[in-house]
Amino acid sequence: MNRSFEVEIPASGQNLAGTFFPAQQDLGNQAVLLCPATGITQRFYFSFASWLSEQGFSVLVFDYRGIGRSLAESHVRHSTAKKQDWGLLDMPAALDFLLALTGQKAALLIGHSVGGQLFGLMHNHARLRGVLAVAASSGYVKNIRQDKRTAAKLMLSCVIPLSAMLLGYIPAKKLGWGENLPKAVGLQWAKWCSSPGYVENDFDGEIPHHWYKQFKAPIVFLHAADDEIATKENVLDIMRLFEVAKKKRIFIDPNQIGLDTLGHVDLFRARNQSVWPLLLAQIKELA
């Protein structure tokens, strides 16, 4: 039985929309913060969050500012959200809210793609007991799967900059990339994926503070063997930013577990829930 309910998360500059899935069995009320991928709304993760709550975890999933129900403006073209805002402001606010709601001192973080890249920007990272970073990588365009490389280069160098200039936002829905993106988010996405290191490209620019080198909680980087973006090279590229954390990398071959494909986003789809026990094993290990 799904007993989830909507919540409003106070964050710097605006409130964020989230959904809380209370644990449906008592395992010490383990708290999990589920941080979405770029342009993916919280609803995409509801099936997984509900299943995880059935395993005894209390789960909070939310929309970043400028995305989904956290778009405060009348149109995304009016949003001033930047990509680093998600890590510097939104993820820390969601973590504080989750811990206050559950009465816990620390939580686990499951980050999908950008959610597994930006937790090094969280000022309250010491309240994380561990991180499962799913399909998280630097996204460096020269290291993505070869058959997708030309289209990705075109997107980063032409489609995103032109859309930002002509429309004032990135029409990702029409392009099949998820929700439409605020202009600054799209431009940073293009910049960060055009060179190794991803967020590292703005450490001396728009990002005044970060805690990648100080982050100490254990991190599991998990990606599918057929992920066109989070290739081995790109996963290792983001892993190197966390210099002191205990890290390990796990890849899943969908063919070995009876699935045709998992790619970059499909690990969280209900039709692929046969892979979820593998994620749960890592979550329990981190807990």
Query: What is the tens place of the pLDDT at every residue in 44-97?
Result: 999 999 999 999 999 999 999 999 999 999 999 999 999 999 999 999 999 999
> Residue 208: what pLDDT?
85
- Assign 2 a pLDDT band (cuts: 50, 70, 90): low
- Strand ranges inside 173-287, DSSP E: 181-182, 219-224, 247-252
**In whole angstroms, what is the distance from residue 86 CA to residue 49 CA?**
20
> Residue 98: what pLDDT?
98
> Residue 277: what pLDDT?
95
**In whole angstroms, what is the distance from residue 15 CA to residue 74 CA?**
15
> Residue 132: what pLDDT?
98
Least confident of 35-44, 200-209, 276-285: 200-209
Structure-token match 């999933």, residue found: 61
pTM over 0.85: yes
> Residue 175: what pLDDT?
82
> Residue 78: what pLDDT?
97
> Residue 204: what pLDDT?
84
> Residue 205: what pLDDT?
86
CATH number at residue 165: 3.40.50.1820
Q: CA separation (Å) from 257 to 220, 221, 231?
A: 20, 19, 19
Q: For the CA atoms of the chain, what is the radius of gyration? A: 18
Averaged over 253-279, what is the pLDDT?
A: 94
Give tens-digit pLDDT for 101-139: 999 999 999 999 999 999 999 999 999 999 999 999 999
Statement: residue 27 has pLDDT above 70: no
Q: Phi, psi at residue 83, to the nearest 5°?
A: -60, -40
- For 57: left if phi > 0, alpha if psi spans -120 to 50, otherwise beta; the answer is beta
Q: CA separation (Å) from 42 to 45, 134, 169, 184, 255?
A: 6, 15, 21, 21, 28
> Residue 1: what pLDDT?
58
- Assign 180 a pLDDT band (cuts: 50, 70, 90): very high
Q: Are strands 30-35 and 107-112 parallel, antiparallel or unpaired?
A: parallel
Least confident of 1-5, 172-176, 185-189: 1-5
Give tens-digit pLDDT for 184-194: 999 999 999 99
How many domains would you assign to the chain? 1
**In whole angstroms, what is the distance from residue 224 CA to residue 234 CA?**
13
Say if residues 181 and 66 touch (Cβ distance below 8 Å).
yes
Q: Containing domain of residue 212, as a range?
A: 5-286
* DSSP H helix total and E strand total for the chain: 9, 10
